[in-house]
């Protein structure tokens, strides 16, 4: 195995790690969205039964969750950009290896 092949293997591994990280972030974002929906339903129930004061702590949790979701979505965008850059680097290396072969 030559140096180029080693670099290609390393870059493939790097791309796979970035793909896994992105998938984990997307899974987390989906869980947060689901939790947000559940909390909104809880707030609506509390208001519907005429007890909006009991909804205040739930509302605060929902607001914190929304901030967390926004942060995760920013991380998803950054991870997607990093994955795209890593994939471009990998393709560049693979093309370089194919030309040398």
Tell which wins on pLDDT, 75 or 5: 75
pLDDT digits (tens, 9 = 90+) for 28-83: 999 999 999 999 999 999 889 988 888 899 999 999 999 999 999 999 999 999 99
Q: What is the pLDDT of residue 53?
A: 87
Count CB atoms within 10 A of the CB of residue 95: 10
What torsion, rounded to 10 degrees, do the Cα atoms 42, 47, 48, 54 define?
Answer: 70
Count of other CB atoms within 10 angstroms of residue 45? 13
pLDDT over 70 at 101, yes or no:
no
């Amino acid at each position: 195995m030559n140096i180029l092949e080693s670099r290609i293997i390393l870059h493939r591994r790097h791309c796979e790690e970035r793909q896994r990280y992105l998938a984990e972030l997307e899974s987390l974002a989906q869980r947060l969205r689901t939790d947000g929906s559940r909390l909104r339903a809880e707030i609506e129930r509390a208001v519907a039964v005429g007890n909006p004061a009991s909804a205040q702590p739930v509302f605060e949790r929902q607001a914190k969750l929304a901030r967390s979701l926004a942060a995760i979505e920013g991380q998803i965008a950054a991870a997607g950009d990093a994955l795209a850059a890593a994939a471009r680097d990998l393709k560049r290396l693979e093309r370089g290896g194919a030309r040398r072969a």
